[in-house]
Structure 1
Amino acid sequence: MRIIIVGCGNVGQTLTQQLSKEGHYITVVEEKSSVVQNVVNSYDVMGIVGNGASYSIMKDAGIEKADLMVAVTDSDELNLLCCLIAKKAGNCHTIARVRNPVYKKEINFIKEELGLSMVINPEEAAANEAARLLKLPSATKIETFARGRAELIKMVISEDSRLRDKALKDIPTDLKKQVIISVVSRGKDVFIPDGNFILRAGDEITIIGSSRNTLNFFKKMGLPTAKVHSTIIVGGGETGYYLAGQLISYGIKVTIFDKDTERCKELSELLPQALVINGDGTDKDMLLEEGITRVESFASLTNLDEENIMLSMYVKNINPKAKLITKVHRVNYGEIIGSLDIGSIIYPKNITAERIVQFVRGMSASKDSNIEALYKLNDERAEALEFIVRSGSPVIGVPLAQLNLKKGILIACINHYGEIITPSGESVIRDRDSVIVVTTLTGLKDINDILEK
């Protein structure tokens, strides 16, 4: 597809990297010439220096032939104006990044009136992910497939886990029939495990199954399956505001720390059920006074990555049982943070890029692939893809044990008309099923690509 990306910040560059890698024809538009030069040198894309809201610049970028225009500059208003001009000039699909909560109540009106295909709010998307994790505190990451019927959940194996030091083939049947363990991360290594793979304490595993089965799996493992009852949020910005609102709606007791007096007044009016404290959330005495050692969860959501990381490390030390959420903006911190064991890391920029990439894949599904959804796992070293199986595919009607799969491929889940199946070697894929495949390979576009030629 022909895609124009306006804005080459972290989100724009992440999108450019991913979509160009997937074979789309990308043109980037950015006002800073040095940034454009850097992007063009790094990826196989076209670059134009200029204002994306300019009709002439849009024409130079090829808007008349574009399939999609994505506006991810730092200005909501500029993004919306870019979409309006693109829609009028090229009649293509448009996506806008809109962050200001003022537009929250009006977003459906704006989307309809401007003909937007998608509106993404990074802070709200990050808060949604954090809220899901606080509803199931034993998980470090949760994603959904098959329109919410199947879940991909990450968790860490503890010293007293029933899975510790067991080969996958020897896992008790009551656990094995619930979910499939599809990926194992051990230190810097990532594995698609077979039946002989032995799990160790400290491994982070990715399980896939129906929503009911994943819940049963956690129960049988003796892990908490109920939401937390209390949380402390440090940072009353947009992410903190959206997260607090969701948690309050779940009946969770929320305390928010923020240094800005005016912002605290706003939050008190917007969230009357929350306890809003005007103070420095990095003040250890203040945290102790507000019960940090007893709280069930803690979210560090300031705008400083280092502050968030240090706060989570401190809380981990004095309250090891608390569920931790740490917001990080710099995506290149991933490998370092992963070794710190500070709970769930939320990357707003990555979440935004992932949602947009998923939309693009949905658009291209009718053209050159049958990918319904795709999630990057373990710092992009593995992928989970959902394929729609079309008639005539060689995978149809053959028991999975008899399929000649490429190395590094695991069929993790089958959705048969809404029935989520945890597959075994005897399971069979049927026409129109959706199938979740986990792989360390890249470039898969069709379910048939999982087979050796």
Structure 2
Amino acid sequence: MRVLVVGAGEVGSNIAASLDDDHHVVVIDTDPDRIDSITYSHDVLAIQGDGTAIGTLREAGIENADLVIASTDIDETNIVICGAAKAVGDPFTIARVKKTNLLRTWEQSTGAFGVDFMVSTNLQTAETIVRIAGLPGAHDVETFAGGLVQMAEFEVEPDSLIAGETVSEADRFESLTFAALLRDDDVIIPRGDTVITAGDAVVVIGSKASVRAFASSLTPEPTLEDAREIVIVGGTDIGYQTARLFEAEGLEPRLVERDPDRARELAEQLPGTLVLESDATDIDFLVREHVDESDIVVSVLESDEKNLLVSLLAKRLGVERTIGIVESGEYVDLFETVGIDIGVNPRLVTSEEITRFTRKRRAENVAMLESDRAEVLEIEIDADSALFESRIQDAIADLPEGVVIGAISRDGDLITPRGETVVHGGDHVVVFVDTVVLDEVTAAL
């Protein structure tokens, strides 16, 4: 497939990196430094030019393009790029936008703007925050099989109950599969005698109840069902969307916004949220409003430094869990080391969503882990699958190392897979796959 990616920033570069192994990727950007960088770092054709210009698109081979991904930092530019691509070719077009209202307009107007698929960075980021907030200690969460199956990734702390245990000893939960251990740069497919060590990232797949029970065993932090107080700092669009999604979960968060006009606007739009007009970096305000009693503080200000400061103040006051936006992807690990429990990078969230969409053509649903080191796929089994009417232990023996069957959905029921389990046609199988063997496994399944 010939793919044109317009915009070689963090989003475009991540998308190009995830697609260049399997597709012919052309990247367009106006910045010569970005073009030089991506030329040396990725196996792509890089062109310096304006992606909204027909001449540049023709130079990139738009007539033969199957997919155009517009991923610049300007919403309107991305929409124009998709329209221009449709004017001179017939590719499938994907536009990245920040403003959620543009997404809503597009959703109400089939084929509007010449965009076939649109991703809102702000909405995707808010959805990621709410998913992560729903499970204590989780760094990544995704649902499959219509919500019947959940996948989550947790980091094992030194004082964790399962640190030093074997997988067999740690497997105390019904309907739960230990899919993998991510240790340093290695993806470990666990066996019963595999020892879980501090610093490992554990990937589990199972029912929501089992994953939640496992999460509770790792940390005393509350789930959303138990949370008494959630404070959102920042009335940005991400802050608004996050509050709206928490309201949809039946919660009543508090939102702190410094600008009086924006605070008034948010109060009118969020009937289930208490909006407070103040500066959240004012520690006297935080104490006065009993923010120390909050279970979760989410910082979504427009400055990484302010998000870090708010998180540090919240932790100092005794808040159990902090989640913060980190716009600079290279700072996520640093911020998580010094103050934020979970750092969410909107650009990475967006690039993963776009990449996930391009890969859903071969699976019902896809989740990517650790910047594409592994994937969790939901696949409907048909007669061409290696799993069709086979016992799992027999089918797995013929597949390469790096595959774990995590769960099976059959007629709305969850089946916890075992070696003797026979997979039937029509089953939805949730499978963990190391990206090293991804192409071979997806072709077989």
What is the letter of the counterpart of residue 407 of structure 1?
E
SS in 2 for 1:445: helix
CA contact (8 A) 1:152 1:209 kept: yes
Query: Deviations 1:146-195 (Å, cap 9, x if unpaired)?
Result: 3433211233557886645432223465x1x3211223346776533210
What is the letter of the counterpart of residue 149 of structure 1?
L
Cα distance, 1:352 vs structure 2: 0.8
> 1:429 aligns to what?
423
What is the letter of the counterpart of residue 408 of structure 2?
I
CA distance in structure 2 between the aligned counterparts of 1:145 and 1:406, rounded to whole angstroms: 24
CA distance in structure 2 between the aligned counterparts of 1:105 and 1:98, rounded to whole angstroms: 11
> 2:85 aligns to what?
86
The count of residues paired between Structure 1 and Structure 2 equals 441
SS in 2 for 1:80: helix
SS in 2 for 1:412: strand
SS in 1 for 2:244: helix
In the superposition, relative to structure 1, how do residues 449 and 107 fare at CA in structure 2: closer, same or farther (>3 Å)? closer
Query: Deviations 1:1-24 (Å, cap 9, x if unpaired)?
Result: 111111222111111111113x21
In the superposition, relative to structure 1, how do residues 187 and 85 fare at CA in structure 2: closer, same or farther (>3 Å)? closer
Query: Deviations 1:343-393 (Å, cap 9, x if unpaired)?
Result: 332221111111111111134x3xxxxx44433323544332334444244
> 1:254 aligns to what?
253
> 1:7 aligns to what?
7
Q: Which runs of 5+ in 2 are unaligned?
A: none
What is the letter of the counterpart of residue 10 of structure 2?
N
What is the letter of the counterpart of residue 237 of structure 1?
T
> 2:353 aligns to what?
355
SS in 2 for 1:84: helix
CA contact (8 A) 1:389 1:447 kept: no
Cα distance, 1:45 vs structure 2: 1.6
> 2:94 aligns to what?
95
Query: Deviations 1:231-250 (Å, cap 9, x if unpaired)?
Result: 11222211111111222333
**1:51-200 matches, cutoff 5 A:** 51-137=50-136, 139-156=138-155, 163=162, 165-171=164-170, 175=173, 177-185=174-182, 191-199=188-196
What is the letter of the counterpart of residue 325 of structure 1?
I
Cα distance, 1:124 vs structure 2: 0.8
In the superposition, relative to structure 1, how do residues 354 and 422 fare at CA in structure 2: closer, same or farther (>3 Å)? same
CA contact (8 A) 1:178 1:217 kept: no
SS in 2 for 1:293: helix
Query: Deviations 1:292-337 (Å, cap 9, x if unpaired)?
Result: 21012100112222332343244234325x3321211222234434
1:399 is the counterpart of 2:430: no
**1:220-259 matches, cutoff 5 A:** 224-225=222-223, 226-259=225-258
CA contact (8 A) 2:298 2:323 kept: yes
CA contact (8 A) 1:67 1:93 kept: yes
What is the letter of the counterpart of residue 184 of structure 1?
L
Query: Deviations 1:120-156 (Å, cap 9, x if unpaired)?
Result: 1111111011122334445443112234332112335
**1:307-386 matches, cutoff 5 A:** 307-320=306-319, 322-340=320-338, 342-363=340-361, 365=362, 371-386=363-378
In the superposition, relative to structure 1, how do residues 432 and 338 fare at CA in structure 2: closer, same or farther (>3 Å)? farther
CA distance in structure 1 between the aligned counterparts of 2:371 and 2:360, rounded to whole angstroms: 23
> 1:368 aligns to what?
none
In the superposition, relative to structure 1, how do residues 200 and 318 fare at CA in structure 2: closer, same or farther (>3 Å)? farther
In the superposition, relative to structure 1, how do residues 315 and 450 fare at CA in structure 2: closer, same or farther (>3 Å)? farther
CA distance in structure 2 between the aligned counterparts of 1:289 and 1:383, rounded to whole angstroms: 45
What is the letter of the counterpart of residue 385 of structure 1?
L
CA contact (8 A) 2:392 2:420 kept: yes
What is the letter of the counterpart of residue 324 of structure 1?
T
Q: Which runs of 5+ in 1 are unaligned?
A: 366-370
CA distance in structure 2 between the aligned counterparts of 1:317 and 1:184, rounded to whole angstroms: 32
What is the letter of the counterpart of residue 388 of structure 2?
I
What is the letter of the counterpart of residue 401 of structure 2?
K
Percent of aligned pairs sharing the same letter: 29
CA distance in structure 1 between the aligned counterparts of 2:18 and 2:110, rounded to whole angstroms: 25
CA contact (8 A) 2:121 2:350 kept: yes
CA contact (8 A) 1:137 1:227 kept: no
SS in 1 for 2:418: coil
In the superposition, relative to structure 1, how do residues 38 and 50 fare at CA in structure 2: closer, same or farther (>3 Å)? same
Select between 74-83 and 306-315 the one with higher mean Cα deviation: 306-315
CA contact (8 A) 2:137 2:219 kept: no
CA contact (8 A) 1:158 1:202 kept: yes
CA contact (8 A) 1:149 1:420 kept: yes
What is the letter of the counterpart of residue 393 of structure 2?
A
TM-score (norm 1): 0.86
CA distance in structure 2 between the aligned counterparts of 1:354 and 1:148, rounded to whole angstroms: 20
